[in-house]
Each structure stands twice: as C-alpha cells, then as structure tokens.
Chain A
Amino acid sequence: MSAPGAARLHGLMAEFRSARSLIRACERTHEAGYRKTDAYTPYPIEEVFEALHLHRSKVPLLVLIGGILGCLGGFALCYWTSVIEYPMNIGGRPHNSWPSFIPVTFETTILVASFFAVVGMLALNGLPMPYHPVFNVKRFALASRDRYFLVIEAEDSRFDAEETRRFLASLEPTEVFDVEP
C-alpha cells in the first residue's frame, strides 16, 4: 500500500483476448506470489482453476451431508408416522414395513442433497451479491461474452499500485484497468 490512493482501489484488472493468454497470465501471477487474485471468464475453464491453485470445492461434502440427512430424515418420518404416531394394521403387515418406506426415503435423500448442492454452491460463492466492484469497469460486461479478465486485489499483501500495474502490463493484456471499490 505504498502509492497514495491505492487504498481506494479494489484492485487492478487486466483484459485478455484468449483463454490461453489468460491461463498463462494466471500461472505467472501465481508464480509472482500474488494470492488474492481472481479470473473472470465467459465459461468454466479447468486450466484456470489449476493455474490459480484453487482448493477443492466443498460442494461435494455438503451434498453428502445433505444426502445423509435426507435419507435419515425420510426414513425417520415414515417410521415415526407408521410405527409410533399412527400405527395401522394394513393387511397384517408389520408396522415397520421398511421396504414400503424406501421410495419416500429415496426421494427425500435426493431432495435434500439437491438443496444442499444448490444452496451450498450459492452460499460458498457468496451469491446473491447485489454489488461488486468489478462491474465498475465498463469493459467488464464482455466477461459474459468473449473476453477474459484477471484481477489482482488490493488486499493482497504484495499489492502495490505501480508495481502490480507494471507486472500486469508485462503479461501482454489488451488493457489494464483500475477497479474502483
């Protein structure tokens, strides 16, 4: 935070024309020691995740937890209803006629696991997010079309407005922008 005014920035953004140049840039940014970085692409690119060294997604764990909860919950609902709260003799079947509880248990497993997948993904991504500084860059609208962006955030310990700007320029972007907070 040496340069005056740097504190007012969210970060610096570089625009690239191709996924390949973005991937190269991400690799070099990581090598240069920047960690508070993000890449913005029009579609998911596996190599970018690798270049930025993203951690494994936590979504699968959440889905597993959701599935287990749904499974136990669904069976518990059938069991509690049919055995404890409202036992009925249907054709002499045992109250705990568990094979007939499988369809409901199965459906609740899928339902709760899917909920966890969707809500978990949104929560991990911090969505919905009504405001984000990157949208202050006019050209950023092209991130949903055909342009690729790399942002080094001001929070990064190595961030220095001038130094980082020079570094980004060395990655051969088409342009480097200041991202107002």
Chain B
Amino acid sequence: MAKEPRPSASDRLGKPPVLAPGHTTSSVTDQISAVILRGTPRWWYFAFGFSFLLVLLLLQSLTKLFLEGTGIWGLNIPVGWGFAIINFVWWIGIGHAGTLISAILLLLRQEWRTSINRFAEAMTLFAVACAGLYPLIHVGRPWLAYWLLPYPNTMGMWPQFRSPLIWDVFAVSTYATVSLMFWYIGLIPDLATMRDRVENRWSKMVYGALAMGWRGSAHHWHNYETAYLLLAGLATPLVVSVHSVVSFDFAVGQTPGWHATIFPPYFVAGAIFAGFAMVLTLAIPLRAIFNLQDFITLRHIQNMGKVMLATGLIVAYGYMIEIFMAFYSGNQYEEFMILNRITGPYRNFWWALILCNILAPQMIWIKKVRVTPALMWIVAMFVNVGMWLERFVIVVTSLHRDFLPSSWGMYAGTKWDWATFIGTIGLFLSLLFLFVRFLPMISIFEMRTIVPKSDSEEASA
C-alpha cells in the first residue's frame, strides 16, 4: 500500500470516511468473510444460548395460548386490542428501516448505505417474522388463520376486501415476501464468495447450492444490476404502503384518537424512526465485537442519527397535530380522549413516551453525542422503548375510555403477554445471531464497488 488514497469530497469537509482508507477489493473480501471463516467465538454460544432460552419461553407461551385461548392475555372488553397489536406494529415498524436503507438510499445513491444494508435487511426479515406472528395468534383459533386468505372453500365464503384487516394480510405478506427476495438476491454473489472461500466440503456444498452456481459473469451482472435496481424501485413504495395500511387498521375505525388523516404519514415516519433506532442498537455492538469499525464508521452512525433525528421531529409534529386536531375538531370525545391520554390513568405512559421519543433524540443535535457510539446507543434504546410506548398509548388509551362511561375499563398485560413479547425478542435475537455467524453481514460485493478504484488497482497490479 504505497499510495495514499485521494482525498474525497467528504474528507475535505472533515467527515469520517464511508470506508476506512487503505482497503482493496481483496482486503474487504477477506476481512468480511473472515468473520464467518474464523469459527465460532465462545461468546456466540452464550449469546445464542440465552436468546434460544427466550425462544423456548415463546414456545411455552404459545402452547399455553393454543391450549387455553386468548383469555390468558389481559384482553377484555373494552380493550380488545392489547399487546398483540402493540407488538405487531412495533415489530413491523422496526423492519422498515431495513427496506429504507436497502432500497430508498440505493435509489438516492447514498454510498454509505452499502456497509449497513445487508444486516439491516436481515433485521427487517426477522422483525417481520416476529410481527407476522402476532395477528396470527390474535385471531383466537390460530390453526384457522389461513381463512384470511382468499381461496375457494366448502364454506362458500370469501374475505371482505373493504376491510383494512384484509389489506393488512396482503400488505404484510407482500412485504415479507419481497423483503426475503430482495435480501436473497443481494446475498447470491456473496454466497458465491463464501463457496469459493470455505474449506469444509459440507459448507462448500451448502453455500454452493445457495449461490445457485453464480460465477460473476458480465452477462449475469448486467441482468442482476437491473433486477436489483428495479426491486429497490418496487420496494420503495411498498415500504410506505405497508405502514400506511397498518395505520388504516386504526384510522378507518371511528374510535376517538384513531380516526385521523395524519395517521399514515405519521406511522411511516414513526416506523423509520424506530427502525433506525434498532439498526443503531444492533450495529454499534456488532461493529465493536467483530472489529468492523473500518466498514461501519462514525460516518454511518452520524448519518443514521441524523435520519433518526429528522424522523423523530416528524413524529413529534404528529403528536402536536393530534393534540391540536382534538381541540380544533370541536368533538367532545376527541377532546376527552386527548386530555385522558395526558392526564388520565395512563398519563405516565404518555409522558414517558414524550421523554423517550421527543426529548431524548434532541441529544443528537450535539456533535459530541453523534460521534460517540455509546451515547448514540443509549439514545437509540430510548427510542426503542419510546416507540413501544407510543403504540401502547395509541391502542390502549383510545379503547379503555370510549363513548360510553359505563363501559370504561383498565388494561394491563398479563405475565403471558410479557412472556410472548420477550419470547419474540428472543426469536429476533436468535435469528440475528445465526445470521451473523453463517452469512456475510456486510455485502461484500457492494463493498468492492466502493473501494477507491485507483488505489486498489495500483495496489494489486
């Protein structure tokens, strides 16, 4: 490495680079694949083992649920939507950052996305898997959940296509399928790289089969790039539509606090906000554990922080508009709902939500915070909690005191609600640990494209 890389525009502006200087196509390949080839570190067994225990907790709570029904949860009239819906919206919102990073930032030519898109997409898949579980188990008789799909049946019945709940079925299943395809297509060249690197015969066969015989032919790359770009173009409106449809589940109902036109954009912004918080929550420890600071630089952490701050402000605007509209509407139920939210029995949730989602992210304005991963991690954790509280407040405060005071009630999750929730966190983490162990967590071939070209050629020539 005799030559210094040319200073790029970002260097001149004093920003940390997207990729640490001195890397070549071979060094990025070796360093990222080494994470897998090095073998299993000891901490991995502990981490995976712990997460898997939580998966067992999930299985236990599901067994209990299947045997006894949704009565084991805290649901009752008037609050018929509880943890299942809160967690569904929370998880699916988290997923949105992965698609945003992989698709929208690709179309906007944001080069810095390259080192984080792979595991952000994996995070999307795992979050959608956790999210998808909730509506299925919430239907009461989960073994009949396939009734949600339109298919000719002996009952002669068909789904109601005017219902947002059936829109949700289509939106979430399309989202899961497209995310999976996008992720897998992105993985193919890297699976081929792994096939060419691994020594073990069995590993070679597995990676080889998954890579489908990819050989990096120019003819293939040509079709591949086009398909990848088009998928990004398709995923972009999709991701916006999914959380809009999720918000329709609420907004189409005439319950006070739900029946608002602000809901779709406000939900989409909230989803991106929550998703970036989760990407930061995962990326900061992973880059430290696997020594990936060269690839996930402070630039990435800063940029993600800025996206989080911007979407957080949109969410804050959403909260303000909700309050404003409640009074501007002149509707006594809307007014009561908002006062009840802020001063009623669930006021602590609301104030905690304001602290987590509006006040805490303001720290990101300070540069010192943006460039200190540990502090950014703490802010991200605030947002993770805050976004869960937001969904809790939306679902519960609107339902527990609606139009008729005689039917007011209170809601709290039972231990099985919590066990299911913690169980899905375990499922998410288990899948994530398997992913970082067996698949390249950074897109190797895309990293090769952002290696400064003059540098790599001279170095290897």
Given contacts A40-B215, A44-B449, contact A90 B196 (CB under 8 A): no
B209: A residues at CB distance < 8 A:
128
Is B162's CB under 8 angstroms from A52's CB?
no
Q: Does A1 belong to the interface (CB within 8 Å)?
A: no
Task: Determine which of A18, A77, A113, A125 lies in contact with B224 in the assembled complex, contact meaning CB atoms within 8 Å.
Answer: A125
Q: Does B372 belong to the interface (CB within 8 Å)?
A: no
Is B160's CB under 8 angstroms from A110's CB?
no
Q: Does A157 belong to the interface (CB within 8 Å)?
A: no
B454 to chain A: closest CB distance in Å?
10
B174 to chain A: closest CB distance in Å?
4
Q: Does B26 belong to the interface (CB within 8 Å)?
A: yes
Across the two chains, which residue of chain B brings its CB closest to A142? B196
Q: Does B253 belong to the interface (CB within 8 Å)?
A: no
Task: Determine which of B26, B170, B218, B225 lies in contact with A145 in the assembled complex, contact meaning CB atoms within 8 Å.
Answer: B26
B367: A residues at CB distance < 8 A:
none
Q: Does B220 belong to the interface (CB within 8 Å)?
A: yes
Task: Determine which of B178, B193, B215 lies in contact with A110 in the assembled complex, contact meaning CB atoms within 8 Å.
Answer: B178
Is A38's CB under 8 angstroms from B219's CB?
yes
Is A103's CB under 8 angstroms from B226's CB?
no
Is B158's CB under 8 angstroms from A81's CB?
yes
Is A131's CB under 8 angstroms from B213's CB?
yes
What separation, in Å, do the CA atoms of A101 and B222 have in the docked complex? 37
Q: Is the interface of B mostly helix, strand, loop or mixed?
A: helix
Across the two chains, which residue of chain B brings its CB closest to A18? B457
Please encode chain B, from 188 to 213, with 1 for each CB lying within 8 Å of some chain A CB and 0 for all others: 01001101110000000000010011
What separation, in Å, do the CA atoms of A45 and B461 have in the docked complex? 18
What separation, in Å, do the CA atoms of A120 and B218 have in the docked complex? 17
What separation, in Å, do the CA atoms of A128 and B188 have in the docked complex? 11
A124: B residues at CB distance < 8 A:
223
Task: Determine which of A38, A101, A104 lies in contact with B217 in the assembled complex, contact meaning CB atoms within 8 Å.
Answer: A38
Across the two chains, which residue of chain A brings its CB closest to B453? A19
Within 210-244 of B, Cβ neighbours of A (below 8 Å) are at 212-227, 230-231, 234-235, 237-238, 241
User: Most chain-A CB neighbours within 10 Å: which of B30, B178, B197, B221?
Assistant: B221
Question: Chain A contact residues (Cβ within 8 angstroms of B): what range?
Answer: 35 or more
Q: Does A134 belong to the interface (CB within 8 Å)?
A: yes
Task: Determine which of B25, B30, B182, B234 lies in contact with A42 in the assembled complex, contact meaning CB atoms within 8 Å.
Answer: B25
Is B178's CB under 8 angstroms from A43's CB?
no
What separation, in Å, do the CA atoms of A143 and B309 have in the docked complex? 42
A130 to chain B: closest CB distance in Å?
6
B237: A residues at CB distance < 8 A:
106, 110
Q: Does B116 belong to the interface (CB within 8 Å)?
A: no
A20: B residues at CB distance < 8 A:
457
Across the two chains, which residue of chain B brings its CB closest to A16? B461
Is B25's CB under 8 angstroms from A85's CB?
no
Is A106's CB under 8 angstroms from B150's CB?
no
What separation, in Å, do the CA atoms of A115 and B217 have in the docked complex? 22
Across the two chains, which residue of chain A brings its CB closest to B179? A114
B192: A residues at CB distance < 8 A:
144
